A and B are shown apart, each in its own frame.
Chain A
Amino acid sequence: MAGEIRAGERRQRRGEDPERQFQWVVPAGRKASIYEDLTLDTQPSVHRFLKSGYHCSFADGRGTWDDASTALDVVTWSAFRDPNELWERPYYQQGAQCEREIDAAVESARSQGLYADVDPDWVAFLRRDGQVPAFVEHGIWAIATRRSRAALSDALTHGIVLYAAIKQRQAQALVIEGMDLDDAFGDVTIEAARERWLREPAWQDARRLVERMGTIRDWGELIVVAGLVVEPLLGVLLRRELLLRGALRAADPVTPAIARNAQREGAWWQDFAVAFARFAVQDPEHGAANRVLVDGWLEAWTPETLAAVDALEPILDGAPGTSFADARAAVVADQRELVAAATLDPARPAVVA
């Protein structure tokens, strides 16, 4: 991390009182956004203004923050921005909106008697496996929360924390749906879903993958693996291909609201991860080395993620109206596009067939 952005580089515009602007904020665009004003440099750094070093360190020599917390290196971590500029207020607005839409769907299902129209085979599927994806979301949540602190800028830390918060909301929404289904149809328990997650062979590769994510120490690896591999392949398979498409065909009035909102949040995270990977591999100084690392992570995680996807074949084919082959083809194609958007070689993890 050689360079740093000097404060006050922001171009002053005519008529603006320089003493009424946050001069330390170096806008990515023409003008500082409110996201930038409220986020940047809230996490201090020795590469920014802490000229006297970190004053509080770990006994093993790591400073308050530690450049070695990720194997990636860039000229200026503080130049990274969330392309969608999520900060607390829009986060609460969007999150509350998700929950309102879901609640409204439940309410209308109840008051309009829509639950009666749901394909009974789909109800049986939901009873069996509808809540199991919550364990995937929860497992990813657990590691994301743990790696947020070490990230080397405020924009990165906030992104990871809000990603975790989104995972937690998604996991809980599926569990709460289980309670609503329990009311409507009976015999929908979290215990049964848990049993499936822990013992059903078709879910075990997914569980192994999520547990392996818990071993990630490098927050940069976490963003890449969660954002470019696990979410687009496994996450989208579950949310879009299984829950959303399946529910729409089965006249399920509530699950689409849950899955659609989760996908909308997922799109934010995908953008974040793509921007992050591009930021790393296009770094003027360390881009080439970063590319090797990121490629290595894709190679290290793609086969196991695809194995988890493949193992789910009986689950998808066992649900009415979903086809595993189509679903797999769709997520693999989309993930390749995502990897290409990150300026990485989509053919590089050779196992992607």
Chain B
Amino acid sequence: MATQQTRRRSVTKTHERIAQLGWRHDYHQPVPIYETRYVFPEKAKDPMKQVMREYLPMQLEKDDRVYGGFDAALRAGMPTKADERWLQVMKPLVLILVYAEGAAGRCMSVVMDVVPNEELLNGYHVQFVDEVRHIGMQMNLARWYAKHTPDPAGWHRGQEYMAENMFTRAGINMFSHSFVGDPIAAGFTMMTVIETAFTNVAFVALPDVATRNGDFIQATTYSSVQSDEARHISNGYATMLTVLQKDENIPLIQHDLQQAWWIVHAFVDPFVGTIMEYFSSDRSDNESYLTKWDRWIRDDWYRSYVEQLGKMGVTVPPDMFERARERLVAGLHHKTAPLAFATWPLQFWKFSPLTEKDFDWFEAQYPGWYDEYGATWEAYSALTDPEEGALLLGGLLDGAPPFCWTCMLACVLDDDMCHRTCTDAHGHERTRFYCSPECKWLDETNPGRYTGDRNFFDKHHGKALSEVIVELGLLRADGRTLIGQPHLRKDQMWTIDHIRDCDFEIRSPNITQARVLGLPDGNWHDPDDPHGAVMGDGNGFQPVTLYGGGRGRNGDGRVVSTPEDLAAAAVGSTPWVKL
């Protein structure tokens, strides 16, 4: 090591030179494999400058602190001191966030495939490398939890469980929006909405809850992740400022930003809201999820970012943001949480019943909470002992709301729920339910996007719960005890025999509700399809080769979506979404 510090080169000057490495191709033009509807101006806006000579040692130092933290946490006895209720929910949370990191990285690759402006490319790529870092750190966190926390069951097959779990698959669906479809729309989803609006919730507010629950290694890891986000947010802002220079792009931005906002809200708010409030044992925080949301999302993002875009010609109607908040006030996550808890036998982590202390906290934060939800939580507690021989799910599933086709979470708000009838590949009518008119709008305006066997319970309809648990591999190494448990006690653990004794048959709420409402079949599972999906109406374009050739809307494997198409479709049945 040189003892003298090398004379510092100016980052700006270095960047100016490095920016000259791009050139306009003369012999061969780059061929993209993704398509965008956006056009690009000659000159882009510069994001934050990043030079590898500064970047690499900076990141190494941050890595060293994080990885050193794991040893320190062990020496400090954190695994046994941290709150068990909290540690349990890290299983789905960390794994879905690892997927989010991979999505963020891949977002950079699709954006780079279509953005011609050299000024932006370097920043995008550095972000992809950051995201690889975030995957490594968070998988290391998962591995550490698996090795050291008191009850690791669930971690051991976490990636398997995650792919077929009713909540995490909704997360996979949502985060995939950031690298599937039009790359610029994908970029808005990741950089403008997820990173700019929601990382403060995920990587600042959540670690705070972790620390309050004695889990400081989660906080160390996620704070280090968050320290990279300023650059990613800057990439998003530079992208926005670049495309809004072209008038043709303005309606696209308005359209795509609303759609990006909605899909992210529809998953993150119920998911993270539930984790933060229903899996924290510490009740010293007097700020509810809604209050945090107002601070981070409404004030710091909507008011000081989205509204400001108006000055630059991008007016986004406030309706969607107001609607999202109204849904939170109406109990979006409070109504999702009981459903998550009631389905404990199908989850890969343990739950713990709410206590008097929890009730007091909820009542203080959300006056009227106990009147509305108290009885459900009392019933939940009463049925945690297998000797009771009854499942809360038994009383709940028949009246349970169907799952939303678009966001894949339950349609918990009655006034918002809606549906439409679609035609499958054989010409049969089937019903798709939506948690909200906005989710319906997303499906209607993006034919081909929402694919696969989507309604969680459809494929299990008519099967015994015990059979489904075995099928999903949700038994512990002893072959009898369930991984999901309704309580954290060492005794009174539920086994597959207890479940068999309950003799409970799964009925898909999507199928039940369609029947009750006199609508066409609500089932979208086809046992003969390789992935169990009913084909038709947007679902199941044949896989096409890289260069087209499948059967798209025009039979050529391509669905043409011009801005006019989109504008027409967008205004159609959802008049508040004006362009």
Contacts and interface: CB of A to CB of B under 8 A. Distances in A.
Contact of B105 (A57, A59, A98, A161): A161
B451 interface: yes
B209 interface: no
Contact of A103 (B53, B63, B447, B547): B53
Contact of A20 (B147, B408, B459): B147
Contact of B544 (A17, A68, A190): A68
Contact of A50 (B21, B163, B177): B163
B517 interface: no
A214 B31 contact: yes
B56 A44 contact: no
A240 interface: no
Interface stretch (A122-130, A191-199, A228-236, A294-302): A191-199
Give the interface centre of B169, B176, B453 by most chain A CB atoms within 10 Å. Answer: B176
A290 B310 CA distance: 53
B449 A168 contact: no
Contacts of A51: 163-164, 453, 531-532
Nearest to B476: A19
Contact residues of A: prevailing secondary structure: helix
Interface residues of A, number: 102
Contact of A56 (B29, B105, B147, B450): B450
B2 A22 contact: no
A88 B133 contact: yes
A87 B146 CA distance: 20
A21 B22 CA distance: 46
Interface stretch (B196-204, B335-343, B428-436, B554-562): B554-562
Q: How large is the interface on B (under 10, 10 to 19, 20 to 34, 35 or more residues)?
A: 35 or more
A61 B557 contact: yes
Contacts of B452: 50, 52-55
Contacts of A46: 531
B146 A55 contact: no
A176 B53 contact: yes
A24 B139 CA distance: 13
Interface stretch (A149-157, A243-251, A271-279, A345-353): A149-157
Contact of A52 (B9, B59, B155, B459): B459
B213 interface: no
Contacts of A198: 23
A168 B52 CA distance: 8
A310 to B, nearest CB: 17
Contacts of B63: 88-89, 92
A215 interface: yes
Contacts of B543: 61-63, 66-68
Given A99-B52, A211-B26, A59 B446 contact: yes
Nearest to A102: B53
A172 interface: yes
Contacts of B177: 56
A42 B98 contact: yes
Nearest to A216: B31
B544 A111 contact: no
Nearest to A171: B21
B243 interface: no
A145 B125 contact: yes
A60 B139 contact: no
Contacts of B99: 42, 44
B163 A44 contact: yes
Contact of A176 (B9, B98, B124, B162): B9
Interface string A67-99: 111000000000000000001110111011011
30 contacts: A8-B157, A19-B476, A20-B146, A52-B532, A53-B452, A55-B451, A56-B180, A57-B449, A57-B451, A58-B181, A62-B543, A62-B544, A88-B63, A91-B129, A92-B63, A96-B59, A103-B2, A107-B6, A135-B23, A145-B112, A149-B105, A149-B110, A157-B102, A161-B129, A171-B18, A172-B14, A173-B53, A175-B18, A176-B53, A216-B31
